[in-house]
Amino acid sequence: MVVVSNRVALPGEAAQRSGGLVTGLVDALHQAGGLWFGWSGRLGETAPEPNVFETEGVTYATVDLTRADHDGYYSGFSNAALWPLFHYRLDLMNFTRRDLAAYRRVNALLADALAPLLNPSDLVWVHDYHLIPMAEELRRAGATQRIGFFLHTPFPSLGVLATLPHCDDLLKSLCAYDLVGFQTTEDLTAFHDAISRRAGGTISTDGHVHAFDRVLRAGAFPIGIDTEAIAEMASGAVKSRTARRLQESLRGRQLIIGVDRLDYSKGLEHRFKAFARFLDGYPAYRNHVRLLQIATATRSEVPEYRELRQRLGALAGDVAGRFAELDWAPIQYLNRSFSQRSLAGFFRLSRVALVTPLRDGMNLVAKEYVAAQNPDDPGVLILSRFAGAAYELDAAVIANPYDPEAVAEALQTALKMPLEERSERWRAMMAVLRRNSITAWRESFLGALDN
């Protein structure tokens, strides 16, 4: 197996604790051996040869990028054009032909560095929106291996996709793969619609896609988590010093938790306003609940993210100013990261999780919260209908994040929910998590690619 991603999770790096991609692939590479290829994370002069080394049976190959290439490929086209497009934020999409050229150039550069490292029987698995042209560039470099692609973000409807200049080239690049995987059937349907209506292709009854003189497969492969590992971790983490400090600070109050990257797709501003609406509409809960919102800062060099951080700080201060009492702060807003173990302990202590993104490919926090619960006294998951996880976790309390009253009502429903109903919902969701685990996701995708 050859894994290709924008960043490589090198041994010992903190990146190994983050994200579904890393969680899903590190174990497989260690078990079966393989190669992980991508950008090194360093900026400098692009070397003609990748830096290759092996440890614990896994080969790592990384390539440096120049600052100009990184700015155009990563900060530019990937995150200023594709990311807002795929999350339906057309007002934030910033397209330039220079960034698109850098995106294509870096994908070609990476393909040229990877191609000599491939063996004839390798399965190549490319990940996420940064590398959509990778198969097309590998084919140009002479690669004949089976190449699969998995999109971790949502795939937009045709009306949204068509706003991107040169979107037809993006569709053609996707059709250079042998297998294209999406998180949900909605994403898959949007892709099929774009192929048939925009690219003039066809979808056969057996699911094959015929377009751009290519035949490929496309399917929905919802990513999972290591359910049992999270459950075991939470059981021990709830007794840790960090979790005990949090529990003591509550003084018997019920905890509502949100854990997100600091990103406009997560709906944090809507969440804070809905929480204020909850406190306003259900005053009996004042001084009896606390919202702990952990929002890890990312892409701090991007102006939109700096401005979001400032707005959230102001909103949190406004909620506190309106409702706080001498011995109670209604909201605790933290811009820092915690280890996965600490978060598992926090999840287990929480009566409610607010997972209300405006648009999300999957959202593994929702799944981790469910897995971390105490089977004898589980909490309640409030989940946005626009998260990919809502397709699987329909036993959660589903809410529309654009409707603050609906989220406030969901909070009241969750906080007063009796144990019997909480347990029934939790058992239904755990059955899904165990069936659609991270291992099942990996094996189903690679099995389809190998077949």
Per-residue pLDDT tens over the stretch 123-163: 999 999 999 999 999 999 999 999 999 999 999 999 999 99
Catalytic entry in 127, 130, 152, 270? 152
**What local confidence, expressed as pLDDT, does residue 15 receive?**
43
Q: What sign for the dihedral angle of Cα 69, 70, 71, 75?
A: positive
CA distance 56 to 101: 37
| pLDDT for position 27 | 77
Lowest mean pLDDT among 46-50, 218-222, 362-366, 409-413: 46-50
pLDDT band at 122 (very low <50, low <70, confident <90, very high): very high
pLDDT in tens, 164-197: 999 999 999 999 999 999 999 999 999 999 999 9
Q: Are 158 and 183 in contact (CB under 8 A)?
A: no
Question: What residues pair up with 52 in beta bridges, in sequence order?
Answer: 61
What confidence score (pLDDT) does residue 21 get? 59
Tokens of 422: 């909480």
Catalytic residue list contains 152: yes
> pLDDT per residue over 207-238, tens digit each?
899 999 999 999 999 999 999 999 999 999 99
- The answer to whether residue 70 scores a pLDDT higher than 50 is yes
Assess whether pLDDT exceeds 80 at residue 295: yes
pLDDT tens digits along 314-346: 999 999 999 999 999 999 999 999 999 999 999
Residue 74 has pLDDT above 70, yes or no: yes
Using pLDDT thresholds of 50, 70 and 90, give the confidence band for residue 17: very low
Q: Is the pLDDT of residue 410 over 50?
A: yes
| pLDDT for residue 13 is more than 90 | no
- Residue 243's alpha-carbon distances to 177, 257, 318, 331, 339, in angstroms, are 45, 13, 27, 18, 12
Indicate which residue of 128, 187, 226, 360 is catalytic.
360
pLDDT at residue 14, rounded to an integer = 44
Residue 25, pLDDT score: 81
| Residue 360 a catalytic site member | yes
Give the pLDDT of residue 46: 72
| pLDDT score of 23 | 62
Measured from the Cβ of residue 166, the count of other Cβ atoms closer than 10 Å reads 12
pTM of the model: 0.95
Q: What is the mean pLDDT of residues 38-62?
A: 88
